[in-house]
């Protein structure tokens, strides 16, 4: 297997009215795993600018990007895929979740706000996301490298 460089991605921690925004980004509904909105960083564009673009594409929302809250990394030992996600606290500045919104890349098919209690009934990654989202806003946390979960 040929070694690969880690892919860098940005993700948004958006808590609005006590609920955390998550998306399902598995085309064809092939997984029930939820994650924070965001995606791959494009070269030559700042991380906050990447995140603003990704959240708009996936959710139709405008956000302001705040401080870094979490660094998470995962890999697939079979393929060599390795991704580092940088989670930033974000605030919605315009828009609302519209059920008719369509991700132009057709990756995200469902987006929803979840209460902390509702998170107990769904699968999501990373595991530390609720603690970071609903906990105190201290220094950024780091989640150790883990194997990707489909």
Show the domains of the chain with their CATH numbers. Answer: 7-135 (3.90.79.10)
Q: Quote the tokens at residue 132.
A: 């970071």
Give the number of other CB atoms < 10 A from CB of residue 71.
14
Report the distance separating Cα 84 and Cα 77, nearest Å: 15
Q: Is the pLDDT of residue 1 over 70?
A: no
List the structure tokens of 47: 């991380």
Q: Which pLDDT band, with edges at 50, 70 and 90, does 70 fall under?
A: very high
Residue 49: per-residue pLDDT: 98
How far is residue 42 from each of residues 19, 50, 110, measured CA to CA in Å?
29, 7, 24
What is the arithmetic mean of pLDDT over 91-97? 95
Q: What is the pLDDT of residue 27?
A: 59
């Amino acid at each position: 297997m040929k070694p690969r460089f880690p892919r860098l991605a940005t993700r948004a921690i958006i808590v609005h009215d006590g609920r955390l925004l998550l998306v399902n980004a598995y085309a064809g509904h092939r997984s029930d795993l939820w994650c924070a909105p965001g995606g791959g960083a494009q070269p030559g564009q700042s991380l906050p600018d990447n995140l603003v673009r990704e959240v708009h594409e996936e959710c139709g929302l405008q956000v302001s990007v705040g401080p870094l809250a979490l660094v998470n990394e995962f890999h697939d030992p079979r393929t060599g895929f390795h991704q580092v996600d940088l989670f930033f606290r974000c605030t919605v500045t315009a828009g609302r979740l519209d059920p008719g919104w369509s991700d132009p890349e057709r990756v995200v098919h469902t987006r929803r706000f979840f209460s902390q209690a509702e998170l107990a009934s769904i699968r999501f990654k990373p595991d530390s996301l609720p603690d970071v989202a609903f906990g105190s806003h201290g220094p950024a946390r780091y989640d150790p490298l883990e194997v990707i979960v489909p």
